[in-house]
């Protein structure tokens, strides 16, 4: 189970102007630790978030939930129907993720932010699991933060995990010419298999690809061997 480490920052306001959190705003730091933390702790930056999730899975807390962090106060062409003209900082929890807009979250980072989201949803019932109450910064400031948290943020997986909507635990996905290896692997794992063209239609906790070597960096594994038996074995 992840642990929350208190680090603090002077960049916050006591209280929430009489409001309560009703949404989570996800961010990407556009930089790496420790520089991203230093920035949010520097008084001159006038920026902060409640939490910072590092790529190694550590969760740092800079601002207490009951106080106002400075993470989403600038509103520019918003696409968020919960915005009512009030400063969003007063009624949101800000979660920063270490990385650049083009980065995918690491497995450790994803599991930590998933756990953190669950904790906050439990603590604040107004934060329901939907795209109105769990959003990206770009929904509030589409002009200055169009890539926050970035195109590779795992929205579909996050919502599926939060809702418990995975269709299966394991799914074998194969490329053209790799049906044999996929059959062997799906038999070993006792799970279904599907062609890569239809992979996005099925939610799975673990996706195992055959036919492509390496990893896509998004917690999905690819296997390639010299023959179908070797390829299937690589998936175990």
**Whether 96 is catalytic:** yes
For residue 43, count other CB atoms closer than 10 A to its CB. Answer: 8
**Count of alpha carbons within 13 Å of 211, Cβ hemisphere only?**
16
For residue 107, count other CB atoms closer than 10 A to its CB. Answer: 13
How far apart CA 62 and CA 82 sit, in angstroms, is 25
How far apart CA 15 and CA 147 sit, in angstroms, is 29
For residue 12, count other CB atoms closer than 10 A to its CB. Answer: 19
SS3 category, 51? strand
Starting at the edge strand found earlier in the chain, the sheet holding 59-61 runs 4-6, 59-61, 51-53, 92-97, 23-28, 134-136
User: CB under 8 Å, gap of 24 or more: what pairs does 160-163 form?
Assistant: 160/203, 161/114, 161/205, 162/114, 162/117, 162/118, 162/121, 162/129, 162/134, 163/129
CB 173 within 8 A of CB 211: no
Q: How far is CA 176 from the centre of its chain?
A: 31
Q: Which of 5, 66, 96, 230 is catalytic?
A: 96
| Positions marked catalytic | 96
């Amino acid at each position: 189970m992840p642990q929350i480490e208190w680090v603090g920052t002077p960049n916050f306001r006591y209280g929430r102007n009489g409001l309560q959190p009703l949404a989570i705003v996800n961010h990407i730091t556009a930089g790496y630790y420790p520089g991203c933390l230093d920035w949010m702790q520097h008084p001159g930056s006038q920026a902060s978030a409640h939490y910072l999730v590092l790529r190694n899975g550590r969760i740092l807390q800079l601002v207490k939930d009951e106080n106002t962090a400075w993470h989403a106060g600038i509103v520019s062409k918003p696409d968020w129907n919960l915005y009512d003209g009030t400063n969003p900082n007063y009624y949101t929890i800000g979660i920063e993720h270490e990385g650049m807009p083009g980065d995918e979250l690491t497995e450790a980072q994803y599991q930590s932010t998933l756990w953190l989201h669950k904790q906050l949803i439990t603590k604040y019932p107004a934060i329901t699991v939907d795209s109105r109450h769990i959003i990206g910064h770009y929904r509030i400031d589409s002009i200055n933060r169009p890539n926050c948290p970035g195109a590779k943020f795992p929205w579909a997986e996050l919502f599926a995990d939060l809702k418990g909507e995975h269709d299966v635990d394991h799914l074998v996905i194969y490329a053209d010419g790799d049906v044999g290896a996929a059959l062997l692997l799906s038999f070993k794992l006792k799970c279904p298999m599907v062609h890569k063209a239809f992979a996005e239609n099925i939610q799975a906790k673990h996706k195992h690809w055959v036919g492509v070597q390496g990893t896509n960096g998004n917690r999905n594994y690819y296997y390639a061997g010299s023959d179908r038996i070797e390829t299937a074995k690589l998936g175990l």
